[in-house]
Amino acid sequence: MKKLFLGISVLMLSIASFARPVAESADLVSPLLPGQTIPSINTTTIAGKQVSLASIINNKPTILFFYRGGWCPFCNVQMGQLQAIEKDLTRLGFQLIGISTDSPVDLQKSLRDKKLSYQLLSDYHSEVSQAFGLAFYASSKVTKRYLTKMNLQNPLQKNAAGEARLVLPAPAVYVIDAKGLVQFQYVNPNYKTRLAPELLLHAAKLAN
């Protein structure tokens, strides 16, 4: 009986560890940590096709980075910096993949305008960022500003208080091995501060 109870307790803890609700603010996110395995979750390709994230990674060492969208100037700078080191990452055996709340059409525009050679995925409903513990509710002020000034069409979600808010990912970079295990992560709730490309290269070399 004790063994059964222990087994149920472990199972409940395991389930709880994967239950990552949308955080009320960026500084309250609880991201996936080094040593943990990436969640089993679907994402959307630029062609609008629903596929599993595991099939995209396909047992390959991967640099997966979460960004807010092609409308964000800080994200655009980061995407350009990553493009500059993409060949170095490839030589180290890594594929580079970006994921954001942009729609597949907007992702195609980013690929064209920024001449990116790496893959972009759509997380329009923030399900992947939530599974990684990165999703948070933007404030009512930010939600209103982004929907009007940026003309975003992203769906709103209701927070604990029942208020409709925009959900965004805290910018993050993950170094993932071929088994889907997180070897390194960088998450910063301050969207203006991104991981320096040279530090990412160093982390990739250490994880190799």
Fold of the 2-207 domain: Glutaredoxin (3.40.30)
C-alpha span between 37 and 18 (Å, rounded) = 11
What digits encode the pLDDT tens for the residues 84-118? 999 999 999 999 999 999 999 999 999 999 999 99
What's the token pair of residue 114? 């920024």
Mean pLDDT, to the nearest integer, of 67-83? 96
pLDDT in tens, 165-203: 999 999 999 999 999 999 999 999 999 999 999 999 999
Could you tell me what percent of the chain has a pLDDT over 70?
Answer: 91
Instruction: Please state whether the predicted TM-score (pTM) of the whole model is above 0.95.
Output: no
CB 23 within 8 A of CB 103: no
Say how far residue 167 (Cα) sits from the centre of its chain.
Answer: 12
The predicted pLDDT at position 115 comes to: 94
CA atoms lying within 13 Å on the CB side of residue 93: 13
Q: What is the pLDDT of residue 1?
A: 44
pLDDT at 159: 92
Number of H helices, E strands in the chain: 7, 10
Tens of pLDDT, residues 137-161: 999 999 999 988 777 888 899 999 9
At 14 the pLDDT is 37
Interacting residues of 208 by C-beta distance below 8 A, sequence separation 6+:
61, 92, 93
pLDDT at 19: 57
Do 164 and 53 contact (CB within 8 A), yes or no?
A: no
Residue 79's closest CA among 130, 114, 123, 44? 114
Q: In what order do the strands lie in the sheet with 156-158?
A: 135-137, 164-169, 156-158
